[in-house]
Chains A and B, each alone.
Chain A
Amino acid sequence: MNEDEVRQALRAVIDPDVGIDIVEMGLIEDIAVGDGRVAVDVIMTTPICPQGEAIRDEAESVLRRAAPAAAVTVRLLTEPMWTPDRLGPAARARLGWG
C-alpha cells in the first residue's frame, strides 16, 4: 500500500455531523508507509471532540481491511489545532465556500 492508497482508503471514514470524509476535512496529519507497516496520525476539529476515539477506531478498521497483512496504527494527536484552512476543495464546494 502506498500513501495515496492509504489516503483513498481513509475516505471511507465519514464524520457524521457534516457527512464529509476525514481526508477532505483535513484531519490527516501524517501518513507513513513501509516495512509492512501503515502509520497514520489524525487530529480532530477540536481537541475536546468526543468522537476522536471512535474515528480512530474506524480509521484503523478501514485500513486493516484495505491492508490485511500490514501492521496498522492510527494515532490521535491533540496538536496541531484544526483550522478551516485544512478543508479540501470538495469539502469547500459542498459547504458553500464557492
Chain B
Amino acid sequence: MVTGLAAGEARLGWSLPGATLAHVHGVLMVSAFFGTVIGLERAVAIGHRWAYAAPLSSGLGGLATIAGAPVAGAALLVLAAALFGAVNAVAAHRQPALFTVVLLCGGLSWLVGGLAWLATFDATAAVPWWAGFLILTIAGERLELSRFLKPGRWRVPSAAVVMGLVLAAPLAGVIGPAVMWPLWGAALMLLTVWMLVNDVARRTIGQPGLTRYVAVCLFAGYAWLGIAGVTALLLPVGAGGMVYDAVLHAVFVGFVFSMVFGHAPVILPAVLRVKVPFLRLYYLPLALLHLGLALRVAGDLGGLPEWREWGGLLNGVVIVLWIVTTAAATIVATRRRAAEQARTRPAPADAS
C-alpha cells in the first residue's frame, strides 16, 4: 500500500521513490492492496483454507508489479480475482440473498477490471470496474446490516436496481465514455440516496464510542460518493483529466478510505485476532483525510493544480499516520492486557 501511495504522489509531481511506478498507482491500490485486504476478510469469513489463495495471489501480483514484471503481476491479479469470485460464490450458496449476490457481483467486477488491465495496461479501461469492486463490496455489506432496520417493502428491490446500475454503467462503456460516465454518476447518486435512507448507521450514530465513529465514517463517505456522482453526471469526465481525478478520488479516497478508517477497528480483531482499542484520537486522521481530499477536489474542479498536489500529499501522509496510530494503539493495548493478565493470574501452587 505504501508503494501504491508513493506512486500516487509521484503522479501528482512530488519527488518520491515511487516515481517509476506512477503508471501502476491504480492497480497497486485497488487490486493489490484492497484486493488482498478484502480477500483476507472474506477468507476468514468463509473459513476454508483454499480461500486464502486469493489474497496470497493478489499480494504476489502486487509484488510482481512493483518488481517490474507487469504481465506476471496482472496475471496473478486476475487469478486472485477469479479465486475471490469462487469464494463469493461459496458465500452466495451458503446464504442465497441479495447482499451475497451483490458481494459476488463486486468480485466479478474486480475480475473484469483485472482482465481489462491485463489486456491493455490502461487504467482508464479498468478503473470503472475496479471502482465497482469496492463500491459493491461496501454496498453489499451495508445491505446485509440494513436488516437490523424495520423491514420496508422497497428496500431490497430498490437495492437491486441501484446496485445493478453501478455494474451497468461500466458495461455502457462499450457505447462510449460519453454515455458511461453520466450513467455511472447517476448510479452513484442513487446509491448515495439509498444508503442515506437504508443504512443502519442512521440509528447507530447516536451511540457512543466506536459505533458512533463507524457511523460518522460512513456518512462522510456517502457525502463523497454523492459528490462523485453529481460531478460525473454534470461535468465531462475526460480520461486522465482534472474532473477524472476529482471523481475517482472522491470515490477511492472519500468513500472507500473513509469506510476503511471506520471498518478497521471492527474487522482487524477478526482478521488478525488482536483487539483494536477505540480512541477519540481516530477522529483526527479522519478529519484530515477529508480535508486533504476537499483540497484536492477543489483544486481539480477549480483549476488550481497546487491545491490538488497539496491535498493529495496530505491524503497520503494521513493514511500512513492513521496506520501508525492504529498499530501503536493496538500494540500498547495488547501489552497492557498481557500485563494485567499476568498480574491477576493466580500464583502456581507450591510443589514442595
Contacts and interface: CB of A to CB of B under 8 A. Distances in A.
Nearest to A96: B203
A91 B207 CA distance: 12
B45 interface: yes
A65 B296 CA distance: 50
Given A47-B95, A50-B44, A53-B44, A96 B267 contact: no
Interface in B10-47: 41-42, 44-46
What secondary structure prevails in chain B residues at the interface with A? helix
Contacts, number: 79
A98 B203 CA distance: 12
B94 A17 contact: no
B77 to A, nearest CB: 22
Contacts of B151: 84
A89 interface: no
Interface stretch (B105-113, B114-122, B141-149, B238-246): B141-149
- For chain A, which range describes its interface: under 10, 10 to 19, 20 to 34, or 35 or more residues? 20 to 34
A72 to B, nearest CB: 16
Nearest to B213: A16
A96 B269 contact: no
Given A16-B214, A16-B266, A50 B145 contact: no
Interface in A25-50: 45-50
A45 B144 contact: yes
A51 B266 contact: yes
A48 B95 contact: yes
- For chain B, which range describes its interface: under 10, 10 to 19, 20 to 34, or 35 or more residues? 20 to 34
Interface in B196-217: 200, 203-204, 207-212, 214
Contacts of A19: 204, 207-212
B292 interface: no
Interface in B143-167: 144-145, 147-151
B211 A17 contact: yes
A97 B152 CA distance: 11
Given A47-B94, A51-B267, A57-B273, A95 B149 contact: yes
Given A17-B145, A96-B203, 13 more contacts: A17-B200, A17-B266, A18-B145, A19-B209, A48-B100, A50-B41, A50-B45, A50-B267, A50-B270, A50-B271, A52-B45, A52-B270, A53-B273
